[in-house]
Structure 1
């Protein structure tokens, strides 16, 4: 379970959000500027809440009343950004292995095979990021995050920089991750169609606050603006 009950002031804007989710994919849905990225950055440990608690499966990562703050590198959380953020001087194989090496994990040939097959990136291993399409780069970024063996995977608008064709290319891989990888995910998007295809529980974020939580029924109607 992911439990979030936090408040953080950011200039004139305040994120004050609370929810608890047991979903395989928890969607954070809202318009640009609603506070979704700030919230996911608090879960990652990149931002510290002014007040509140963040816990995963009963382990407290932040608790301001107890002055608890687990640093980013000890949270075992994978993070996939809107831009893939691959290292241009490394080939795909080396990019994939970066998370494992940084976390000092033992090589696991079976896990490597599962991830490369799941994301269909085995034929890309010798290429540099500059030779990949946008969808291929995002699949490699997902693979790198998975190979760091996270207990939670955060995805902040991972399809936001892709055109519609590339989005349709990568969405099936995200569905496969949800159904086969066995790692809970938090997925940030302002696109209701992505949420309907992927999320199992959804928090609606407006002006820094959770205004709705549940299944796809909490999303705006298909014909309504987000």
Structure 2
């Protein structure tokens, strides 16, 4: 499949969505922004639940909306799956009955998945005989995702599917969402306002603010930008692709990345396993000389590539490169002046904490 094209303008009282996007036709695209930024409105427009005057949407060569030609495919005729914040299961049906409801919506010749296959993928095989009222929030969402998949979608839309879950249930369902990413050739558009969720799941990132797209691109490149609007600086941080290289004798694991190695608390994964690491800008400090006798183990030679203001008075965001890998550091303006930081200057970056995302 080629890419996805989406162009919508929707006017509401005190709000306007105005987007023109080209997105990859595979992997997970995350729509990220603060409340009221237009994420759900955009998702509803893609689904055809909101009809944008002059709107256009195409999934590969299949055009679902082109108002210039008077073309609008209604939602029920679009081959898409939609997973909402609430699972919205049929309480009078068992889990198996809910799955069968999704499967029966599609002619037999168009069905792409068997119920047993989807149940195995999402770990709900043991739940088939139960009613939704007896399920946890995470189990209900997995059933809702399975039902959506059984409608044979060519595009899966997910509107903050973890927002209603507590932390324990979120951690329960995230590995299953990663399996969808790894094992299914269906593009997913995923709405979230949780940075760690996006960093763990997404391949492509769209940042929305007040109804407009402020950035769109591959996840790692977009998160590493220093020129994003200052409102996004509070969540600033990069995602680093790494591989488990060795398990050290003192209960540390070495992860290799394009630029060096990171030491973290011992991990259960085997050598060769790939992981994503999130390094927050607030967890990176800078020095002109290599620190000596420090408790911080992860210290890298880096080069300053950009410096930008933030919304917080007295603080700046510094973009660095460690080899081919970008980092961000959030420091005070005074520290910038004391260190005389300029683009091109060499520094030592100390990484105080690394979040492993799986």
- 2:129 counterpart SS class: coil
How much has 1:102 moved relative to structure 2? 2.4
- Please say which of residues 5-14 and 163-172 is displaced more in the overlay: 5-14
Alignment deviations for residues 85-121 of structure 1 (CA, whole Å, 9 cap, x no partner): 0011111001111122123446969622211110010
- 8 Å contact from structure 1 (residues 100, 106) kept in 2: no
The answer to whether the aligner puts 1:21 opposite 2:23 as a matched pair is yes
* Higher helix content, 1 or 2: 1
Corresponding residue for residue 90 of structure 2: 87
The change in CA–CA distance for 1:137 and 1:223 in structure 2 (over 3 A counts) is: farther
Alignment deviations for residues 176-226 of structure 1 (CA, whole Å, 9 cap, x no partner): 00110211100000011111110100110111111101123424413579x
- 8 Å contact from structure 1 (residues 53, 62) kept in 2: yes
Structure 1: tracts of 5 or more residues without a match:
none
Corresponding residue for residue 7 of structure 1: 9
How many residues end up aligned between the 2 structures? 225
- Please say which of residues 46-55 and 101-110 is displaced more in the overlay: 101-110
Corresponding residue for residue 32 of structure 1: 35
Out of 172, 188, 204, the position equivalent to 2:191 is 188
Corresponding residue for residue 130 of structure 1: 133
* Higher strand content, 1 or 2: 2
Corresponding residue for residue 218 of structure 1: 222
- 8 Å contact from structure 2 (residues 103, 111) kept in 1: no
The structure having more radius of gyration, on CA atoms, is: 2
Corresponding residue for residue 164 of structure 1: 167
Corresponding residue for residue 342 of structure 2: none
- 8 Å contact from structure 1 (residues 28, 203) kept in 2: yes
- 8 Å contact from structure 1 (residues 103, 148) kept in 2: yes
- 8 Å contact from structure 1 (residues 121, 139) kept in 2: yes
- 8 Å contact from structure 2 (residues 19, 213) kept in 1: yes
The change in CA–CA distance for 1:112 and 1:106 in structure 2 (over 3 A counts) is: farther
The answer to whether the aligner puts 1:151 opposite 2:154 as a matched pair is yes
The 1-side partners of 2:133 and 2:113 are apart by 28
The 1-side partners of 2:113 and 2:5 are apart by 32
- 8 Å contact from structure 1 (residues 8, 51) kept in 2: no
Higher relative contact order (CA 8 A, sep 6+): 1
Out of 94, 113, 118, the position equivalent to 1:115 is 118
- 8 Å contact from structure 2 (residues 111, 152) kept in 1: no
The 1-side partners of 2:23 and 2:121 are apart by 25
- 8 Å contact from structure 2 (residues 10, 17) kept in 1: yes
How much has 1:42 moved relative to structure 2? 0.7
The equivalences for 1:93-112 within 5 A come to 93-105=96-108, 111-112=114-115
Structure 2: tracts of 5 or more residues without a match:
224-234, 237-279, 283-309, 311-358
- 1:51 counterpart SS class: coil
The 1-side partners of 2:89 and 2:179 are apart by 22
- Please say which of residues 148-157 and 42-51 is displaced more in the overlay: 42-51
- 8 Å contact from structure 1 (residues 202, 218) kept in 2: yes
